[in-house]
Amino acid sequence: MELTNHLFSDICVMLGRSMRHIFRSMDTIITVTITPVAMMLLFVYVFGGAIQTGTGSYVNYLLPGILLIAIASGIAYTAYRLFMDMQSGIFDRFHSMPIARSAALWGHVLTSVVSNGISVIVIILVALLMGFRSQAGILSWLAVAGILVLFTLTLTWIAAIAGLSAKSVDGAGAFSYPLIFLPFISSAFVPTESMPAVIRAFAENQPVTSIVEAIRALLFGQPVGNAIWVALAWCIGIMIIAYIFAMRAYKKRV
């Protein structure tokens, strides 16, 4: 129990350190938030009238995908901060102190969850101003929050691999581009029925589509079906694999 409390307190200290860096440089959160908001404005007010989704409000249809894009953008900063800490030698300095070896890494991971959570809240508030409305109750909103946190953790552990393994700053952040692009080949922006057969097959069987469909169903009181279980399976499976490789990279580097 004492060891567990020691690890928890060390992680809290590392989280506080990383969060202070975030709040001293709010441009990271602002940058991560502005791009998805601009994209949401563009698609709703410029392209929305030409896109047929079978729903009354395109912003309602679009929001889940925008949230995932925001998270995919945000985790690039986790990789960047990890890379910079590795280059500065701060991890070696931490390990010379009586703290848990994994605490510094977990501090970065939890900082990613908190900072991306802030971005998600801001985007939802903007969506409300644009006409977004949800019939979801408190339990449904909690389920949505849980899926988004799990998705953030999944991508953050992937970011940790990049941050710990990259040879340059550009390499640390470049891995996020395919992740940001993935929602465009899913049901996030248009129904998959409108896509050519090959693209549709890929879109319907990749992780983002099931996550988007689960969030959309929870927000608008629709039957969730198997989408939520498929989404959870994708997130948990990828997160476990990414965690294993991230910890291997961490042990190798430090």
Q: What is the DSSP letter of 48?
A: G
pLDDT at 230: 92
Q: Which residues contact 16 (CB under 8 A, 6 or more apart)?
A: none
Phi and psi torsions of 87, nearest 5°: -65, -35
Range of the domain at 36: 2-253
pLDDT by residue, tens only, the chain of 254 residues = 434 556 677 777 777 777 777 777 666 667 778 888 998 998 888 876 667 666 668 888 899 999 999 999 888 888 888 888 777 777 667 666 666 667 777 888 888 888 899 899 999 999 999 988 888 889 999 999 999 999 999 999 999 888 888 778 777 777 778 888 889 999 888 888 888 999 999 999 999 999 999 999 999 888 888 888 999 999 999 999 999 998 888 888 76
Quote the CA–CA distance of 116 and 74 in Å, as a whole number: 6
- Contact 111/78 with Cβ under 8 angstroms? yes
The token pair at 178 is: 């395919």
The pTM is what? 0.87
In the chain, the number of structural domains is 1
Alpha helices in 89-102 (DSSP H): 90-95
